[in-house]
Structure 1
Amino acid sequence: MDPVTSEPLLMRLGRHSARHRKGYVLTWAVLVVLGFVTSLGLLGGSSLFDRLETGDIVAPGQAQTARDLVTATDEGALQVVGRVDGADPTDPAVARAAAGLVERLEAVDGVGAVTGPVPAPDGSDSFLVTVEVGSEIGGPVQDEVAEVLREDGAELLAPYDAELSVGGTGLLVDDVVDQIKSDLTRGEGIALPLSLLVMVFVFGGFLAAGLPIVGAIASISGALAILFGFSYLLDLDATVVNIVTVMGLALCIDYGLLLVSRFREELSSTTDVEEAVGAAVATAGRTVLFSALIVGISLSGLMVFEAPIMRAIGAAGVSVVAVALVVALTLVPALCAMGASRLVRRRGAEAAPEEGVFSRLARVVQRAPVLTTVVSVAVLLLLAVPALGLRLTASGVELLPADAEQRVFAEQLEEDYPALASPGVTLVAQADEAQAAGLARQLADVPGVTRVDPPRTLGPLPDDVAAPGSDPDGPGLVSIGLHIEGTAMDDPAREVAETLRDADLGVPTWVSGQTASLQDFTDSVMDRAPWAALWIAGATFLLLFLLTGSVVIPVKALLLNIVSLGASLGILVWAFQDGALGGLLGFDSTGGIESVIPLLVLAFGFGLSMDYEVFLLARVIELHEQGADDDTAVRVGLQRSGRIITSAAAIMVIVFAGFAAGQMLVIKQTGFALAVAVLIDATIVRMVIVPATMTMLGRWNWWAPGWMKRIHARYGVSEHSSPVRAEPAPVSR
């Protein structure tokens, strides 16, 4: 048999990337440039950030039906609002200046109705000018109107020492997108330099430390390009960009760290660069492949849910994991080959010694494995207790920093001009004029409702919108806004929405608004969660079984992940919902956790924790197959993988903490939660509980029924020592 063709595929890939290193690096350089140019619109045209959206988190249900009905029957128009403070609108001179401003606004092409001046209800020296600018957020009409208000308005009102501010829904969305871009830049600006410093410490040199960073930059480019493509297929919420990009960045650094370390270990034993690269990709590359598959499976579980934002994050996340995998298996090995002469160290220096801090930790754990397991799991369960009080929320302007211009504008406008405040709950009904009037009177008596807007006629029931419970031969649609005590996410609004959803009001109705959307999202998640969990757990179990040949190890890994992620959610609730870390992290608690965060923490956190499980198991299995006894395999395996796991975890924590330092609340919560999840998993779970339980179980770690053993013998993946070594590394007995 041809010895080349009998080699493992990954080894051949590694050798090919080393042999054609310049071609791989050049190809990736071109792809990286194209990725940044395309996604950022550097040569003109729209960019990824121009195509982002933001709004309520929706899922199929009453709120989505109501939204579709309103959109189909009444396109509506976005408004840009100019607010003037410090000028009396009853003053004839001020009135003339305001009239001149209205004339200039009416002259802008594409502008709808212009209303103003609208005096403040409290009689203060304040008034508004509102301008309808169509339905396109961030469109040229909106931008021109805002410019006219700021420049011409300031000029006309300058003699009166008035203060002019400009806001509106479209400008609020623009602010959110700008904050996303700012947080992305801030996060990368913190994560990349600090990650480089950690890797310089790990590798003892800038060149080796820089290779994973180069791979991470390629991953960022690929992530942005993929998201840009997805923006033409899916509605992408602005927060998706940071969430997905940070995952690609963290994974690529993680995988690059593992491959570069293994390459240097192989290079210390041979002078053949191609052989060293091939061996590194065949061993560490296989670990990376398994890790990427498990992370991809975890994220694909998000696509089971009906909410478009979860499907978008799932689809984009899987794609970005694929980019990180391809970068790790092609670009990083090619870079290793190019820098081989400067990466080599004295013989054996890269391989971790069999005795060290991690093996000593393992010995301590192995002396009392049962006690260690019980105490450690008890600590995690205690940390998870706050998660029992988890309260989901769907913030609006609260996502922005408290001093953000558009958040301040929106909050002050709602306080000073209550008639312009958006209703906390909106009811869409199929009713004639008399029925609508009676319905409005009936709604005014619902506990918690402070004011009911007059019914607004929308039009006939559209044929192209599925509206369960509607009467095709009935009257047209009306919309009634209900104003509630407190904010849309406070208990009164939730209770009103729940009451209306369950009530029989005599006509077909659909409840809409932030509260109703959150309820639909929660119901949808609870309905699909068992299927998502079954898919993720089943596929992960299968992959770990193929890697280990054991039933016990995959089951134990799944159970430990549940406990570990529960602890992470508990700390998240304590920090953000209870506001315990508000001062330290710079945020005002909204009294809940953003609705998408628990799912993201569970999906991303599960994948990352399995990432370290594979890192450790790969070394333990390698030693086990070399003939080491169970305790020795665990102890030496932890020693050999401990430095990489710790370094990778430190870098992950840095990356996620960098994004937790951002200003957007949802990004801050995501970064914090994932940093905590990685920290818990890489310390308490991977360094303490796993070696304790493996020691406690002994040979039962590798148990499986006979029929499953036969399946593994035929289809499983065996761990082998490096093919470039004449003999396996010695193992202490």
Structure 2
Amino acid sequence: MRSPSNGTGDGMILTRLGALAQRRPRIIVGAALLFGLLAGVFGAPVSTHLPAGGYDDPHSESARAQGLLANDFHAGGMPIIFEITDPAGVDSPDVRARAQTVLDVLHHSSYAQQIGSYWSASPAIAASLISADHRTGLIVAQIAGTDSDAPPRAHEIADSVVGTHGTVTVRAAGQAIAYYDVNRQSRIDLIVTEAIAVPVTFAALVWIFGSVLAAILPIAVAVFAIAGTTAALRGLFMVTDVSVFALNLATALCLALAIDYTLFIINRYRDELAGGHNTADAMARTMTTAGRTVAYSAVTVALSLAVMAIFPMYFLRSLAWAGLTAVSLCLIGALVVAPALLTLLGERIDKWDIRKPAYRLMGRQAPAHKAPHDTFFYRSAVVAMRHAIPVVLLVTTVFIILGVPLLTMKVAYPDDRILPTTAQSRQAGDIMRAEFPQYGNAIRIVLPSGGPPAAVSDYALQLSRATDVLAVAAPGGTYINGARVSTDSIGAAQIDGASYLTVSSALDPYSSAGKAQLADLKHIRAPAPTLFGGVAQQNIDDVNAITSTLPVAFALIAAATSLLVFLLTGSILLPIKALAMNTLSLTAAFGAMVWIFQDGHLGGFGTTTTGHINAAFPPFIFCVAFGLSMDYEVFVVSRIREEWLNTDRAAGANEHAVALGLARTGRIVTAAATVMAIAFLAIIASQVQSMRMLGTGLAITVLLDAFLIRTVLVPAFMRLLGRANWWAPPPLRRWHDRWRLTDEPPRSASEPAEEVVDAV
């Protein structure tokens, strides 16, 4: 039998890492502490800089229209709207004075553009800037800048004028203010999430390990990874756009994966010590078994996250970079820092077992160590395999039923309703939707080559006749129902032959009617080629960009992870099985998300139900959840294969390997999944709806995968496949033998069987 410590390739690298950790543990730990400190200091301010946007496809029609508006007309900024309300009406001297104060601030700002107000507009335009009850008037403007700099500029302006002054109240609404509030709320949520996740996961780790020292190690690795990732995000932000949600994702991933990977390393190390090996041999064996599995698992997760980089919007690309950084640092922490800490602790890893006094207090005996055949997971695997066909049919049916709501999923561009109702911009946005729906539904039409003024005016007139069009602002005036009602306009201009118009719609831009109206407007003959912009067009463009890229993303993930599982197992059926299992768990998780956050069941977990899902989040959740599901597939299947290699390949050997592999991994996989789910469930404390949906989706995926897929469905399915689990055509078998990712040695008969503790 080959020794675990003398493998080649990846085994040799891992062996050397383990040996390095044993020779220089203090240097490694000291370097990790220094790195964490410096990275933490450098990365600490990153949350104040990251923007909340990044959902747009920069190559889309709406993005090109926005670019022309910004560059040619100085009208491509983010909208800001001031609502000035007085119960007595908006024509009193006090209201006019307050409105003038707001206008003065805007006119003195170098960032404010396209300023208009009820108090300064012509009567025809002013009619659209006052509520039906005449208690609220509007001042509209745009703030120049990108997703990064326009929101803080808008906040600076708004902060100086919003508030209640006697009976007059000034509120700020619009995309610029909403993005600022999302940024601010995300920073607060990050602190709350960490404050919940860290102590709860630590308590769970103490209960899993028993030892306080053992529980501290995964948290230490997580802190190391979080510090490094925040520093990397700040560095990345210096050269490209990074979404604020990348920080929340990176923190959750670091906490989940660092604990996950370190948990497997510590568990195997303790098992090797319990098996009678000295600390040096235990470390070598740990690195070439659990260490290898952790490395392949990290590669699997990284491949899934990397696929987000092919989407055109920087929101998803920045999440890919954040995720890759988090996975890399978690891997380094688990394979370098954790072994060094384990070396320093040695057999003291089990010191301070607080479960013993807890059991004494409850008058119970501490659970005895059990042989694998006596564990819950061995017995459950045997039962599942004994009734394989009914189990497969029943569990698959349950997952399909859970996934039924996915068939009705609708995706759309997010607005301020992802914020809690206590947010000032959300409250102002609710007023806008109730009193001034046209300002959230505007369609902007750019004619780059313009046309004769008369032809542009005639085009505006035709547009104003369309169904559910409230008004059209054109360079020649404002048009309503086929007639020009004013020579003034807000949201239109003609410069150097180029023109742009603004169409005010009565329809929800996310609705089917709103999309149909946009298509009808595009069929109206224009005097020159057009580019359409606005929320309705952005929504269509962004959804199309995602839906057209998603099949490619799925194909890449499926191909890459299937290749990895094949190289790990030498089977062509196990990768297919893994894809099928992952698809089942993702279907159920997405069905639950639609049922809760789109359809509003369970109160939408305290969020506002808009009838659709943030379009950018399904591919994000899909990539992350797929990687995490494959993460556990690698852990379980690699151990089952190890047991298979130890069998005589006779009848029943496959079932024996499956049951024994699950017995040896079941407890630690479910424990790791529980801890990981805690990290994701903590995200539900976030006040931003999209983040609550993220935490819910990932937690459901992880728990279903660990407790149903791996514990019940995998053994039943592998029982049905039998020896075919390990089959591959001879050419692929030879290719696998050359490039395989594992050289696990069979365990000799003289080696003691590992003991595992049943589920606690």
2:191 aligned residue: 185
1:466 aligned residue: none
SS where residue 571 of structure 2 aligns? coil
2:467 aligned residue: 447
**Cα 1:498/1:38, change in 2 over 3 Å:** farther
* 1:408 partner amino acid: Q
- Is 1:718 aligned with 2:719? no
SS where residue 482 of structure 1 aligns? strand
Alignment of 1:237-256 (within 5 A): 237-256=243-262
8 A contact 1:172–1:407 mirrored in 2: yes
2:20 aligned residue: 16
- Is 1:370 aligned with 2:389? yes
Query: Alignment identity in percent?
Result: 30
**Cα 1:110/1:572, change in 2 over 3 Å:** closer
Q: Which runs of 5 or more structure 1 residues have no equivalent in the other structure? A: 42-46, 461-474
**CA-to-aligned-CA distance 1:614-665 (integer Å, 9 cap, x gap):** 1111211111112261111111111110011101111121111111221111
Q: CA deviation at 1:289?
A: 0.8
How many residue pairs are counted as aligned between the two chains? 704
Alignment of 1:53-92 (within 5 A): 53-54=52-53, 56-58=55-57, 60-76=59-75, 79=80, 81=82, 83-85=84-86, 90-92=91-93
1:199 aligned residue: 205
* 1:16 partner amino acid: L
Out of 560-569 and 480-489, give the one that drifted further: 480-489
Q: CA deviation at 1:167?
A: 4.8
Q: Which runs of 5 or more structure 2 residues have no equivalent in the other structure? A: 120-128, 354-366, 476-490
Q: CA deviation at 1:731?
A: 11
8 A contact 1:65–1:510 mirrored in 2: yes
Structure 2 CA distance for aligned equivalents of residues 182 and 724 of structure 1: 54
**Cα 1:193/1:705, change in 2 over 3 Å:** same
1:573 aligned residue: 594
- Is 1:699 aligned with 2:698? no
SS where residue 450 of structure 1 aligns? strand
SS where residue 474 of structure 2 aligns? coil
2:488 aligned residue: none
Structure 2 CA distance for aligned equivalents of residues 352 and 149 of structure 1: 71
8 A contact 1:426–1:481 mirrored in 2: yes
The two structures, once aligned, show a CA RMSD in angstroms of: 3.3
Structure 1 CA distance for aligned equivalents of residues 520 and 250 of structure 2: 37
2:559 aligned residue: 538
2:483 aligned residue: none
Structure 1 CA distance for aligned equivalents of residues 98 and 217 of structure 2: 62
- Is 1:355 aligned with 2:367? no
SS where residue 480 of structure 1 aligns? strand
Out of 107-116 and 240-249, give the one that drifted further: 107-116
- Is 1:623 aligned with 2:638? no
Structure 1 CA distance for aligned equivalents of residues 612 and 711 of structure 2: 32
**Cα 1:362/1:578, change in 2 over 3 Å:** same
- Is 1:268 aligned with 2:268? no
**Cα 1:424/1:688, change in 2 over 3 Å:** farther
Alignment of 1:555-570 (within 5 A): 555-570=576-591
Structure 2 CA distance for aligned equivalents of residues 352 and 194 of structure 1: 30
SS where residue 590 of structure 1 aligns? coil
SS where residue 215 of structure 1 aligns? helix
- Is 1:389 aligned with 2:408? yes
- Is 1:400 aligned with 2:419? yes
Structure 2 CA distance for aligned equivalents of residues 59 and 109 of structure 1: 26
1:549 aligned residue: 570
- Is 1:218 aligned with 2:238? no
Structure 2 CA distance for aligned equivalents of residues 197 and 458 of structure 1: 62
**Cα 1:57/1:725, change in 2 over 3 Å:** farther
Instruction: Provide the TM-score with structure 2 as the length reference.
Output: 0.85
Out of 264-273 and 674-683, give the one that drifted further: 264-273
Structure 1 CA distance for aligned equivalents of residues 105 and 721 of structure 2: 80
Structure 1 CA distance for aligned equivalents of residues 401 and 86 of structure 2: 53
8 A contact 1:635–1:691 mirrored in 2: yes
Structure 1 CA distance for aligned equivalents of residues 135 and 389 of structure 2: 73
* 2:334 partner amino acid: A
2:660 aligned residue: 636
Structure 2 CA distance for aligned equivalents of residues 100 and 4 of structure 1: 78
8 A contact 1:167–1:409 mirrored in 2: yes
8 A contact 2:225–2:330 mirrored in 1: yes
2:709 aligned residue: 685
**Cα 1:380/1:112, change in 2 over 3 Å:** closer
Q: CA deviation at 1:106?
A: 6.2
Structure 2 CA distance for aligned equivalents of residues 588 and 236 of structure 1: 26
**Cα 1:147/1:598, change in 2 over 3 Å:** closer
1:336 aligned residue: 342
Q: CA deviation at 1:107?
A: 6.5
* 2:44 partner amino acid: L
Q: CA deviation at 1:124?
A: 4.2
1:28 aligned residue: 32
Q: CA deviation at 1:273?
A: 2.7
Instruction: Provide the TM-score with structure 1 as the length reference.
Output: 0.88
8 A contact 1:268–1:350 mirrored in 2: no
**Cα 1:99/1:278, change in 2 over 3 Å:** same
Structure 1 CA distance for aligned equivalents of residues 550 and 153 of structure 2: 43
Q: CA deviation at 1:139?
A: 7.7
Q: CA deviation at 1:115?
A: 6.8
- Is 1:233 aligned with 2:239? yes
**CA-to-aligned-CA distance 1:679-714 (integer Å, 9 cap, x gap):** 221122111111011111111110000111111222
1:522 aligned residue: 543
Out of 282-291 and 493-502, give the one that drifted further: 493-502
Alignment of 1:452-531 (within 5 A): 452-455=472-475, 456-458=491-493, 476-501=497-522, 505-531=526-552
8 A contact 1:195–1:655 mirrored in 2: yes
8 A contact 1:108–1:141 mirrored in 2: no
**Cα 1:727/1:104, change in 2 over 3 Å:** closer
Q: CA deviation at 1:601?
A: 2.4
Structure 1 CA distance for aligned equivalents of residues 270 and 755 of structure 2: 20
Out of 676-685 and 58-67, give the one that drifted further: 58-67
Out of 494-503 and 174-183, give the one that drifted further: 494-503
